[in-house]
Structure 1
Amino acid sequence: MASRGDELLAKAEKKAKSSTGWFSSSSSKWEDAGDLFQQAGNAYKVDGRWTESGKAFEREAECRLQASEKNDAMNAFHNAAKSYKKTDPAAAVNALHSTIKLIIEAGNFRQAADREKEIATIYAQDGYDIAKARDSFQRAGDWYKQEDANATANQCYQQAAELSADLGDYQRSVELYTTVADWSLTSPLTKYSVKEYWLRAVLAAMATGDLVLAQRLLDTFAQKDVTFPSTREAKFAKEIVDSCEEADVERYTAAVYQYDQVTKLDNWKTSVLLRIKKALEEDDSGLT
């Protein structure tokens, strides 16, 4: 027995393939077919048939475009993506790309940023595609910044910075954390978090094996905020740099242990610090 979704889908397909009569326009045909595909998509959602739901919404979007209803097509593609997310991440991303294309044509970059952030989240989930997740977070951040949504842009840049380090692209991680910190300095509500971003930037620089860059960052950050050198984060970063300059593994290990006793290291810092320590322990570490 055919489900309600199957019945509506059959009606929608029949309508879409029908010829235009004497007293009806091509536009009305596509509008009617689009309505039926939308109903089919919703019916499939009720039944938990997510892939069929996504396909029905995509067919709706095609009909909306035939009827020159671009706003409705945007919504249909987005509904398709939301259904596909349950079962088919790649199809969800494709539907979101179709949504973004229409949104950009309409000049709504804030909404485009929202959809790009969705793409980034899909790629990041369960490590589906970390590189594409990083790039999408950064692209979303750029669009948010363009629309003066700076706080949301910063959140995206933070995600991109963290994922850059996961990918071993520590140079980009340094650049992104510095960008995040620079904006955070401008707001009393976010200024308190700057020392954390600066610490991460220095650690990422250390992970590239560039002690000169790490020291230059510490000097630059101290000029931007004269209170920074007195913070636990700055003192820890300085101790890490100094112990690496002296190739003193014991001093390095003690510094990490002591910091962790007061401020528990998160997974990101732990991973980066282990990389730095491994390089420090090797004769050809590249830390110069």
Structure 2
Amino acid sequence: MPSKSPAQILLDKAEKKAGASTGWFSSSSTKFEEAGDLYQQAANAFKLEKLFREAGDAFAKEAECREKCKETNDAANAWWNAAKAYKRGYPDLAIQALSQTITHLTQAGRFRQAADREKEIAQIHLQEQQDLRRACESFRRAGEWYAQEDATATANACFKDAADLHAELEEYPTAISLYDQVANFSLGSALTKYSVKDYWLKALLCGLASLDYVSARRNLTRYGQMDATFPSTREAKFITVLLDALDQGDEEIFSTAVYEFDQVTKLDNWKTAILLKIKKGLQQAPGLT
């Protein structure tokens, strides 16, 4: 029979301790505290062996012991440690553990940390599961929690990520309102004012992709009223040319404008994808106004 690893020996001890009946002189609280400590040691030993599923499971059992002792801060930490272990190949379990962490953090009023964990959930949905819908929801929830804790810049980064995803899901009105929200915040700060023209460019591209050229023109004018420098930017001039091309149903003007813009400001994947959708709209409905 093969000998047990140090991690397995610790896990067995933890299981025995957690399942033991309490004697006359010890409380169940003490029992679960000691079992929690053993589960934590076992989890760290499994991590050393690179057995991340087992490490996550042991941290989760530690968390349950901490909950039985009403040690909510320690329970939140244990769930977070479980999530970090599960992240190494078990995204569903990582999300479950992070959700448990968030429950403890929000109950304790620690919304800033809850937002950090919710943002991690968003990134797992996005990167590991390609679930744009759920990633959107988590980015927005994280953004709201950051905002109420006055972490405005971090909140805006989450809202911007959510807007990008809403646009990919072709939910253009929602994306536009989020870009507008982030731009409005950014206008008020000298540090972030430079990024406003990019948010507005994205909002306007969403307007073109939704085939609502009238609203796009109206927004272009409105942004110029909010910031007098905007009409002279390359972004505003680019949108103006695209609008003219769409009104005339002229694919050549459209393609030339995109090419020239890309020569100076490299178009990222998001902008390239939405411009292809706008071009498809132009091919299907030339001269639409």
TM over 0.5: yes
2: distance between equivalents of 1:275 and 1:48?
45
1:174-189 equivalent positions in 2, closer than 5 A: 174-189=176-191
1:132 is aligned, of 127, 134, 142, to 134
Map of 1:98 onto structure 2: 100
Given the alignment, which residue of 28, 31, 50 partners 2:30? 28
Determine if contact 1:51/1:83 at 8 Å carries over to the other structure. yes
Distance 2:244 2:276 in 1: 16
In the alignment of these two chains, the number of paired residues is 287
SS in 2 for 1:8: helix
CA contact (8 A) 2:249 2:287 kept: no
1:217 pairs with 2:199: no
Aligned counterpart, 1:53: 55
Q: In the aligned structure 1, how far is the partner of 2:186 from the partner of 2:233?
A: 17
Which residue is equivalent to 1:274? 276
- Which deviations, in whole Å up to 9, do the C-alpha atoms of 1:20-56 show, x marking residues without a partner? 1111111100000000000011000000000000000
Number of the residue aligned with 2:158: 156
Gaps of 5+ in 1: none
8 Å contact from structure 1 (residues 279, 287) kept in 2: no
Cα displacement (A) at 1:248: 1.4
Of the candidates 100, 111, 114, which is equivalent to residue 112 of structure 1? 114
**Paired residues of 2:60 and 2:78 also in contact (CA < 8 A):** yes
CA distance in 2, matches of 1:191, 1:286: 35
Shift of 1:286: 9.9
Deviation at 1:287, TM superposition (A): 4.6
- Mapped contact 1:209–1:286 kept (Cα < 8 A): no
Partners of 2:288 and 2:137 lie apart in 1 by: 28
**SS of 1:5 mapped into structure 2:** helix
Distance in 2 (alpha carbons) for counterparts of 1:4 and 1:105:
36
Helix, strand or coil at the partner of 2:189: coil
Which digits, 9 at most, give the CA deviation of each residue in 1:115-173, with x for residues without a partner?
10010111111453121111111110111011110000011111111111222222221
Q: Deviations over 1:85-133 (max 9, x none)?
A: 0010000000000000111111111111011001011111145312111
Distance 1:127 1:275 in 2: 24
Code of the residue aligned with 2:236 in structure 1: it is A
Which aligned segments of 4 or more residues in structure 1 are displaced greater than 6 angstroms? none
Does the 8 Å CA contact 2:76/2:101 hold for their aligned counterparts? yes
Cross-structure match for 1:170: 172
**Other structure's SS at 2:188 match:** coil
Give the counterpart letter for 1:170 in structure 2.
Y
Q: What is the one-letter code of the residue matched to 1:29? A: K
Letter aligned with residue 46 of structure 1: L
CA-atom RMSD, angstroms? 1.2
Q: Does 1:43 align with 2:45?
A: yes
- Deviation string 1:189-238 (CA, Å, 9 cap, x unpaired) is 11011111100100011111111111111011011001100000000011
SS at match of 1:107: coil
Residue segments in structure 2 that go unaligned for 5+ positions in a row: none
Whether contact under 8 Å (1:60, 1:73) holds in the other structure is yes
Structure 1 partner of 2:233: 231
Amino acid across the alignment from 1:133: A
Q: Does 1:257 align with 2:270?
A: no
CA distance 1:36–1:127, shift in 2 (3 Å): closer
Amino acid at match of 2:170: G
Matched residues, percent identical? 56
Equivalent-residue separation in structure 2 for 1:58 and 1:248 (angstroms): 60
TM-score, length-scaled by structure 2 = 0.97
Q: TM-score, normalised by structure 1?
A: 0.97
Indicate if the aligned counterparts of 1:206 and 1:214 stay in contact, CA closer than 8 A: yes
CA contact (8 A) 1:110 1:143 kept: yes
Instruction: For 2:214 and 2:177, locate their aligned partners in 1 and report how far apart those are by CA, in whole Å.
Output: 15
Residues 57/126 of structure 1: CA separation in 2 closer, same or farther (3 Å cut): closer
How far residue 80 of structure 1 moved from its aligned partner, in angstroms, is 0.2
